[in-house]
Structure 1
Amino acid sequence: MEKQVNNLANITLLKTILNTLFSAFFLLFSFASSAQENPYNSGKKYTIADIVVTGDTNFSEATIITFSGLRKGEVVAIPGERISEALKKLWGSNLFSNIDIYLTKTEDDQAYLEISLQDLPELNNVVINGVKKGKKETLIKDNKLTKGAKVTENLITTTKNYLTNKYKKEGFYNTKVTVSTTPVIDSIEKSRVNMLVNIEKNDKVKIKEINFIGNEKLSDKKLKKAMKETKQKNFLRFLKRSKYVKDNYKEDLVSVIDKYKENGYRDARVTSDSIYNSGDGLLSIDINVEEGEKYTFGEIAFVGNTLYTDQQLGALLGIKEGDTYNGVELRKRIADNSRPDAQDITNLYQDSGYLFSTINPVEVSADGNVIDMEIRISEGKPAYFNNVTVVGNDKTNDRVIYRELRTRPGQLYSKTAVVRTVRELGQLGFFDAQQLSPNFKNANPNEGTLDMEYAVVEKGSSQIELQGGYGGGGFIGTLGLSFNNFAIKDIFKREAYKPVPTGDGQSLALRLQASRFFQTYSFSFTEPWLGGKRPIQFSTSLSHTKQFLFNPRTRDADKSKRFNITGITVGLAKRLTVPDDYFTLSQAVSFQHYDLKNYNTGLFTFGNGYSNNLSYTVGLSRNDTRTDPIYPTGGSNFSVTAKLSLPYSLLNNVDYSALKEERETLNPSDPDDLARLGVIDQERYKWLEFYKVKFKGDWYTNVIANKLIIKSGVEFGFLGAYNNDRGVIPFERFFVGGDGLGNYSLDGREAIALRGYPNQSLSSQDGGTIYNKFSLELRYPITLGGQAKIFALGFMEAGASFDDFRDYNPFNIKRSAGVGLRIFMPAFGLLGIDFGHGFDALPGQNVKNGWETHFIIGQQF
């Protein structure tokens, strides 16, 4: 196939050369004929008396004469350079298929010229066969096959080559592409053609087997494993297919040699390789290797270092005399290009400001298979930031970005500060994290200065939130608007509404959640830099919830029996510097008022009354996840929070022990006793007394080059009471199971997702006071583009809730596993679907739950 493509290109080039030579020959023939008929010598100078244009063209005569560069009254030699230049200019315009210049007659020193030419046909319509409809527009755009384009031999040839090579890279090694044109016959005088592109991808060429010849020190298995992209057929492998891609194969040959170098075989090389058809449309590959001798490290000396001692550099290098020679590891210890924050010698110098330092390992001796090394260091001058700028932000105000920068003019250069700045900008959520780029400008090693430019690409940061799912006895729907780059100072400026005021990095959210049994309205606002000078986050939220009691007779909500909750929360969060500046300390004060009317449940017996919840929440969190908040590729995120009320039982002189004893003697079926129970519970819950402790941690592990990511997580929550006689409150409880919908609804309860089971099905009717959960996700990105981020996942989860600490058993858990898909679009947030299989029975049942489908629309990640 490659030979066919090369032959087509050679034929096209030959046709062009012959066409040019023919035109030149014809011109010379015309001049020679005129010379025989007219008594003038070759190369005689003439004044151009007139120029006429003939042929099939839609360009005006004046335009073509202007293209040629010739003009009436000009003195030219015929034949001569000016005529040749005119031909070159006309050919160079890429507008014509045939061009000739004739000398029609002469009168004394006057010459009459004729330019005869034919327009190239324009492209009218393109039909592409052999690919899906959605990909045709991309192919047309990539090959510039737009309507009106001039159809040249070069256009046809480059289109063939592009499509052939494109599908070869995807494993379709036997791709055949044909391009044909047909003229358009209509009333338009222009020469136009339709183009037909037929693509026959045929089957992907797969690799039947890979054979290594000459290897004795390393097994075939190890060498095949070193080839990351080129694999032979194996029905057990599903992450890497066994297709042959030439470029990947060449890279994998380098990886084979690197594997030898990692094991001390410095002189190993691939002497030859052959790829041949093994039948059934499959390829076989034979690779001949020469292993050489095994080497070890000898003496390693550092030369040129003044900033750090030999001992400091040697400790960081981590290679000792006598260790097996490993050229790949040596390069990584000096400069690991795969990790911007790696612990290597280059980063050690660059974090100390020595951007212009160079570090080169040199073999100075290889006597007896022992290699002595010199690590030659040129430290150079320390570098300082001169100008630090940001480009690409059209909506976000400069000050919102500059306050996140960890690199300032006049500061000593630090690679860690540059990497951290990129992560901080990505975590804002206003920019496409995949396109954040720190660009070095005007680096001057002699003066020790550089300019730093951070290029950002803004994305939509506002979201419409839609959720739907079943839980708590009915369908739960959610509608929300989140403006995550809001500017409250411009709220009264009409011109700022595009559609809302943006640019100050503030967050404003409105949310409505409802089902047959409850309605929740909430408003929240967050300012991440209170006062604009320090990263102190101020937040406030208002909410109102209406809950209706379930009527078992009608199996519907009884709206005459309702439970209203009104609440307000104000919080502050401050970024810490100790233990490190990834830590944040948050504090909040909240107040909820619970109002009951004819609302009697097993949790409390006063159907008419109220409760108040005044609490203080303190939390410590640490987040160092890598750059993209949608698809983190490393780092961790954990938090510990405690929510506390005042110890009212120590202050109000109420004998809760006596109330408890009296309550135990009462009979709820007796009307008088029930009334007394209501009085007692009203006293118990007038002001809620409790403490609530939670822990949550997520860790992200990069398995394959920012592609395959393992997310592991653990959660724990406990709701307790200061006074056991007063008891655990009926609010603030945990409900485990399902997709986690309902996080913001109902009496402070928390919905804990555990896929593979119905919503809130793994807790008792009144909720648990303690829970734990363990999770493991394997994530693989399909695309991480700015318009949409899509990734697939597989998961395993386990968890449970308990009504009392005495019943708590962290290993008595419900297990599930499944697969899912996530799609993040800036306007709608995270969309997804999960198919989970519950391996255990629901409480009170003895048959495993089986498969559950969970839809996620707008739920956060």
Structure 2
Amino acid sequence: MTTFLKRCIIPLLIISSISIQAQELSYSNGEKYIIGEISVAGNTSFSEQTIVTYSGLTKGKEIAIPGEEIGDAIKKLWNSKLFNDIEVYVTNIEGNVANLEIRLSDLPQLNELKINGVKKSKIEGIIKDNKLNKGVKVTENLITTTKNFLTTKYKKEGYLNSKVHINTIEVKDSTTTSRVNMVLNIDKGEKVKIKEIVFTGNEVLNDKFLRKSMKSTKQINRLRILKRSKFVDSAYQADLTKVVDKYKENGYRDARIISDSVVVNTDKTISLHLKVNEGSQYKFGDITFIGNTVYSNEYLNRILRIRKGDTYNGVLLQKRIQDNSKPDAFDIANEYQNNGYLFSNIDPVEVGASNNVIDMEIRIVEGKPAYFNSVTVVGNDKTNDHVIYREIRTRPGQLYSKANVVRTVRELGQLGFFDAQEISPNFNNANPNEGTIDMEYSVKETGSSQIELQGGYGGGGFIGTLGLSFNNFSIKDIFKKDAYKPIPMGDGQKLALRLQASRFYQTYSFSFSEPWLGGKRPVQFSTSLSHTKQFLYDYTTGNADKSKSFNITGITFGLAKRLTVPDDYFVLSQAVSFQRYDLNNYNTGLFTFGDGYANNLSYTIGLNRNNTSVDPIYPTGGSKFGVTAKLSLPYSLFDGVDYEELREERDGLTSSDSRAAEIDQEFYKWLEFYKINFKGEWFTQLAKDLVLRPSVEFGFLGAYNNDRGVIPFERYFVGGDGLGTYSLDGREAIALRGYPNQSLSDTDGGTIYNKFSLEMRYPITLKASAKIYGLSFLEAGASYTSFRDYNPFNMYRSAGLGIRIFMPAFGLLGIDFGYGFDPLSTETKAHGWETHFIIGQQF
């Protein structure tokens, strides 16, 4: 026996990549041997010592052959997921000493991966999701799981006929490492469309009504635009729940979908067949509150707004108790949580259901009132703590209020210093027994400074613009060398500088605002200074005539105070401004005098309300409206000038008469006017991230004294992108896309305008680095020279599409393609398409 073993190699146990072969002899017949030498054979890049050590077999160890020790060694090597074809052999036995040989080969490593059938942008995600990085061990399990993952993924997206094939090709080279190239062929096929959705068993609610309840699963309808008829399994499963909820909303609480099936049609579409059991309709019976001591039954019933005899609606009942879709909903849970009862629990329980009448008990565990133990902020690397804490509505020692937490998140998002999508209120160390909680607001800084550097052609020449806007400035650190990183930041102040120049004009402006003047109250102080010089165009040379100029110098001081009534979303703003208009041999149609001046001293008062949430760049709810009045002094009441006489004299003179220029100088020496503007816009989230934004605008410019007339400044010019042009007469440019800039007003502008707009917005990405959203719009508006011409129904109409991109360093950029449905005064048919580029600085 011993001599035979010296000449032969006896296999003891073999393990393949898919199964373990049993030993020929039972363990009960095994004999004890001392392990002598252990050698390693096969195609492997690992050292012999590493493999032997990993197997757990050691020289001098007594084992049974055959026995469990050999099996355990093979399992250890197999579980490492580094080898395949593992075999252990006895190569020699002398007495009770046995030499062993471990034969194995390395699992091949992934050398190169090629993915066919998908866009390049999707390849990185496939590699990451399936861990197909170079060097990974290629096993049958890896191939199978990758194939199953992708097939399941595409089926959930509606590609029911998707196919995935994986091939591996061995790489032959001089290295000892086994490597393979993998080719991943993906054929997603076409998304399968739903030909029809058929319900059976429904008598109370018809098929059309039930199909409507399925928000994302729709059958083919060529008239429908917003919702497609492609089948997506995950959406379909969610819609099955919505069908049952629709029954519950109508009193059929026992309604169920008994079965649903997908039928493949010959035209490569599918049909969905759903069988329902409607059950009986139920009514609400007695509704009893148990456990409430803070609020009376009568008060809770006013919040619940469900009465005995109402049709049973389980969905509505849950929303009235706790509406998880709206953090600020008017429900019982929020009423408790807004008054300190963070640890309260409200549970509706059916206690009786006889004769299709359901009696309810709403069991309330109020718990202890909760108080904030500590309130902290993390993540603010640039913004100073005091800027954040003054916006926080929750304070240590204060009674907990969910409404204050929600409002704090909104206020921090509105600052514009943080990524509004990343602001998170975290509850720490909640202690129901002591009634305390620690509050932590997590924020993520985003760029708050912007640069505008652009060039373009307009006004007869090249226009260059350089603008800097620092929206989180710190003026107190302006003389601290260490604070320049690259500028002093962190105190929430705003500083803006802008220079714009061409051959024909130059504009310089500076503005500064402090949102908390004095640091104790939300009173904003602002000031701005500007100077503009425009040169007259010489039609003979096509150049600017520097000897003929029109200069405007202006300064403004303003205060804005947050109010407490009617609520603290209101802001009352006031400003005093002065502008000096100087004309130097500047003869145009703007004035009848070419040499002279005009002064504009005005007071502006405004009332604004803004409760939009949460992201100021992409609001998803709330509204903004504002009404402002800009007023000059009524000089004609006390300056002693008879303007009726001057007007009559002026009407009898020609424009070339020097006396006409003197009279006009008298009329415009101090500008006299009043101006009322209104703008309102609302944001409604129709579906997840899909936002509807209607808006309305109105403006009126009037005169105190009709003999003096309406001034030629401050007028409305409607049409185009709404960006200001090189015109320097204080005009307001009102956007109305689909038409050229300022083309919908007379040459001298309008004194009245109205505009209506409807936008549908959907985000592409809302990341801090770039917020991008697409939009579609309908607009209508016009301007009028007087109330006699005013007709709010005679407007220019347009529609179109656009996109907006907000990058912290550059502000809001965008492009719109608008179609004007109405002809201009010089046209006989619809104006057609216009392209508008939008540049909106966040000053």
TM-score, normalised with respect to structure 1:
0.90
Match of 2:245 in 1: 258
Which residue of structure 1 aligns with residue 439 of structure 2? 452
Q: Does 1:307 align with 2:294?
A: yes
Note the alpha carbon deviations across 1:46-66, whole angstroms, 9 max, x for none: 4x6654444323233444445
Separation of aligned partners in 2, 1:477 and 1:849: 30
Pick the aligned partner of 2:793 from 803, 811, 814. Answer: 811
**C-alpha distance in 2, partners of 1:800/1:470?**
27
1:20-53 deviation line (CA, Å, top 9, x unaligned) = 753x74xx56998xx9xxxxx847474x665444
Give 1:307 deviation, angstroms: 0.8
Which ranges of structure 2 fall in alignment gaps of 5 or more residues? 1-13
Are the aligned partners of 2:33 and 2:98 in contact in 1 as well (CA < 8 Å)? no
Does the CA contact (< 8 Å) of 1:468 and 1:857 recur in 2? Answer: no
Give yes or no for contact 1:121–1:192 (8 Å, CA) kept in 2: yes
Compared with structure 1, are the counterparts of its residues 368 and 697 closer, same or farther at alpha carbon in structure 2 (3 Å cutoff)?
A: same
Q: Cα gap change, 1:546/1:68 in structure 2, threshold over 3 Å: closer, same or farther? A: farther
Partner SS state of residue 56, structure 1: coil
Q: 1:681 aligns with which of 657, 661, 664?
A: 664
> Structure 2 CA distance, aligned partners of 1:286 and 1:618?
63
Runs of at least 5 residues in structure 1 that lack an aligned partner in the other structure = 1-15, 36-40
2:680 aligned residue (684, 697, 708):
697
Q: Is the 8 A contact 1:469 1:741 kept in 2?
A: no
Count of residue pairs the alignment pairs up:
830
What residue number does 2:706 align with? 724
Q: Of 253, 257, 277, which residue of structure 2 is paired with 1:290?
A: 277
Comparing 675-684 with 243-252, which one deviates more in the overlay?
675-684
Query: 1:123 — aligned with what?
Result: 110
SS at match of 1:288: strand
Q: Residue 468 of structure 1 contacts residue 855 of structure 1 at CA under 8 Å; is this kept in 2? A: no
1:68–1:560 Cα change, 3 Å: farther
CA distance in 1, matches of 2:593, 2:123: 68
2:766 aligned partner: 784
Q: Tell me if the contact between 1:814 and 1:839 (Cα under 8 Å) persists in the aligned partners.
A: yes
Residue in 2 that maps onto 1:508: 495
Q: Is structure 2 residue 812 aligned with structure 1 residue 830?
A: yes
Q: Name the one with the larger helix percent.
A: 1
Partner of 1:707: 689
C-alpha distance in 2, partners of 1:508/1:55? 73
Q: Which moved more, 1:773-782 or 1:530-539?
A: 530-539
Alpha-carbon distance in 1 for matches of 2:275, 2:152: 27
Q: Contact 1:467/1:857 (CA < 8 Å) preserved in 2? A: no
In 2, are the aligned partners of 1:620 and 1:641 still within 8 Å (CA)? Answer: yes
Q: Using the alignment, how far apart are the partners of 1:43 and 1:483 within structure 2?
A: 85
TM-superposed deviation, 1:820: 2.0
The Cα of 1:271 is off from its aligned counterpart by 1.2
- Compared CA separation, residues 227 and 652, structure 1 to 2 (3 A): same
* CA apart distance, 1:245: 1.6
CA contact (8 A) 2:219 2:229 kept: yes
Which residue of structure 2 aligns with residue 8 of structure 1?
A: none
Give the alignment partner of residue 663 of structure 1, picking from 650, 664, 685: 650
Cα deviation 1:407-433 (Å, max 9, x = unaligned): 222221111111111111221222232
Secondary structure in structure 2 of the residue aligned to 1:332 = helix
Identity across matched positions, percent? 71
1:128-168 C-alpha deviation (Å, 9 max, x unpaired): 10011222222222322222222222322222122212222
2:829 corresponds to 1:855:
no
Task: Compute the displacement of 1:205 (Å).
Answer: 0.8
Q: Single out whichever of 109-118 and 184-193 deviates more from structure 2.
A: 109-118
Alignment equivalent of 2:163, drawn from 150, 162, 176: 176
Question: Does 1:820 pair with 2:807?
Answer: no
**SS of the counterpart of 1:629?**
coil
Residue 647, structure 1, aligned to residue 630, structure 2: no
Letter in 2 for 1:386: N
Q: Does 1:362 align with 2:340?
A: no
Corresponding residue to 1:589 among 576, 580, 585: 576
**Aligned: 1:798 with 2:780:** yes
Deviation at 1:103, TM superposition (A): 5.1
Match of 1:756 among 726, 738, 742: 738
Contact kept? 1:485, 1:506, Cα under 8 Å: yes
Partners of 1:490 and 1:42 in 2: CA distance: 86
RMSD: 2.9
Q: Aligned in 2, Cα 1:350/1:132: closer, same or farther, shift over 3 Å?
A: same
Return closer, same or farther for 1:503/1:52 CA change in 2, 3 Å cut-off: farther
Instruction: For residue 104 of structure 1, report the CA deviation from its aligned partner.
Output: 4.6
How far the C-alpha of 1:348 sits from its partner, in A, is: 0.9
Q: CA deviation at 1:284?
A: 0.6
Given the alignment of the two structures, is residue 246 of structure 1 paired with residue 229 of structure 2, yes or no? no
Letter in 2 for 1:645: S
1:382 to 369, 373, 381: 369
Q: Secondary structure of the residue that 1:193 maps to in structure 2?
A: strand
Given that residues 51 and 113 in structure 1 are in contact (C-alpha distance below 8 angstroms), is that contact kept between their aligned partners in structure 2? yes
TM-score (norm 2): 0.92
Q: Is the 8 A contact 2:672 2:704 kept in 1?
A: yes
Is contact 2:43-2:176 (8 Å) kept? no
Counterpart of 2:257? 270
CA–CA separation in structure 2 for the residues paired with 1:153 and 1:165:
18
| Matched position secondary structure for 2:580 | strand
Measure how far apart 1:224 and its partner are: 0.1
The alpha-carbon distance between structure 1 residues 20 and 764, as it changes in their structure 2 partners (threshold 3 A), is: closer
Q: Provide the secondary structure at the position in 1 that maps to 2:469.
A: strand
Q: Which residue of structure 2 aligns with residue 212 of structure 1? A: 199
* Secondary structure of 1:261 counterpart: helix
Q: Call closer, same or farther: CA 1:459–1:152 in 2, change over 3 Å.
A: farther
Q: d(CA) in 2 for partners of 1:843 and 1:160? A: 64
**Inter-partner Cα distance in structure 2 for 1:72 and 1:707:** 68
* Paired residue type of 2:370: A
One-letter code of the match for 2:320? R
Task: Give the counterpart of 1:19 among 6, 17, 20.
Answer: 17
How many angstroms does 1:84 deviate by?
5.1
State the shift of 1:257 in Å: 0.9
The verdict on how the C-alpha distance between 1:260 and 1:852 changes in structure 2, with shifts beyond 3 A counting, is same
Residue 723 of structure 2 corresponds to which residue in structure 1? 741
| Between 105-114 and 292-301, the greater mean CA deviation after superposition | 105-114
Shift of 1:597: 1.4
Alignment check: 8 A CA contact 1:31 1:78 kept: no
Structure-2 change in CA distance of 1:247 and 1:756 (3 Å)? same
Is contact 1:231–1:240 with CA below 8 Å preserved after alignment? yes
CA contact (8 A) 1:734 1:801 kept: yes
Mapped contact 2:582–2:596 kept (Cα < 8 A): yes
